[in-house]
Amino acid sequence: MVLERLVGVKEALKNPFKTFFLGIFISMIALFISYTMFTHSTGLYMTIIITLAALPFMNRLLRYEEKEDESIMEISTFTERYGDIIIAYIAFFSGMTLAMSASFVLLPGTISEKVFHEQITEINIIRGKFEFGNKFIEIFMNNLSVLMISFLFSFLFGCGAIFILAWNASVLASAIGLVSKSYGGVKALPSAVLMFLPHGSFEIGAYLIGAIAGGLVSAAFTRRKSLKFWQILRDSFKLLLVSFVLLIIGGVIETVVIMI
């Protein structure tokens, strides 16, 4: 596969910048293909194409990480075992988000609205859902459901949560793009990113860690010879616990500090 030639698994874990640019590359190709071939639901097809392109690579990444973690389980800390793959996921997600945000702002309005139509609709639905009632509970429960889906998708399909992550990256990119265009276009892009960074970093981080937790368990099951299976299972639970805490922090920031 072409992606194997671009970035190897070891490279992705050692050099997150390569994974970051891989996220940009895949997103741009997916955007071009979806806009060229699909006149309806372009944004959804873009997410599907990103998933199809990234899934084999991300599955190999998880299998390699699970095998490596098994070999250093007794001599490494929790952070040492999973820090590199968490950073790799963050880099890939950031690359996707940056590519789609810039595309949203740089493309003519009619084209960006067509490409990101489903994402814009989702943003409007989210805004309406949280307009009334206890905003923290509503936001937390919604984010918790996304976290659980990310974990289950990764557990059932290896790295199936890449679809959820790609979709969330496209929705976040659309939100950033909308704000940027409202405040002057490209020059407002950094400010728009900073607007979503305080709470978004915690919430997206929770989804990424949840996806890693499910993927590691899936990889251990798939190998069937994992010598440290129960330790990996305990680590997966710890990762889920970290995700849960991140969601709480993100929800508090979003509702109490930012007051959107």
In tens, the pLDDT along 133-164 reads: 457 777 788 888 888 888 888 887 766 678 88
Whole-number Å distance between alpha carbons of 66 and 77: 15
Whole-number Å distance between alpha carbons of 245 and 256: 16
**CA-based nearest residue to 190, from 98, 92, 89:** 98
Q: What share of the chain is helix, strand, coil (3-state, %, to 5)?
A: 85, 0, 15
Domain boundaries defined on the chain? 2-258
Contact 81, 88 (CB under 8 A): no
Considering Cα of 216, then 219, then 224, then 225, what sign does the dihedral take? negative
CB-side neighbour CA atoms (13 Å) of 26: 33
CA R_g for the chain:
18
DSSP letter string, 97-138? HHHHHHHHHHS-HHHHHHHTHHHHHHHHHHHHHTSSS-HHHH
Chain center to CA of 202: 12
Task: Please tell me the pTM assigned to this model.
Answer: 0.84
Whole-number Å distance between alpha carbons of 137 and 129: 12
Whole-number Å distance between alpha carbons of 31 and 25: 10
User: In tens digits, what is the pLDDT along the chain, a chain of 260 residues?
Assistant: 555 566 777 777 788 888 899 899 999 999 999 999 988 888 899 999 998 888 888 878 777 776 776 665 555 676 777 788 888 888 999 999 999 999 999 988 888 888 898 888 888 776 655 554 457 777 788 888 888 888 888 887 766 678 888 988 999 999 999 888 888 778 888 888 888 888 888 888 899 888 888 877 777 776 655 556 777 788 888 889 999 999 888 888 877 655 44
Whole-number Å distance between alpha carbons of 126 and 146: 13
User: What is the pLDDT of the chain when averaged over all its residues?
Assistant: 81
Query: Which residue is associated with the tokens 């599955």?
Result: 59
| Residue partners of 226: CB distance under 8 A and separation at least 6 | 66, 70, 220, 232
pLDDT at 218: 78
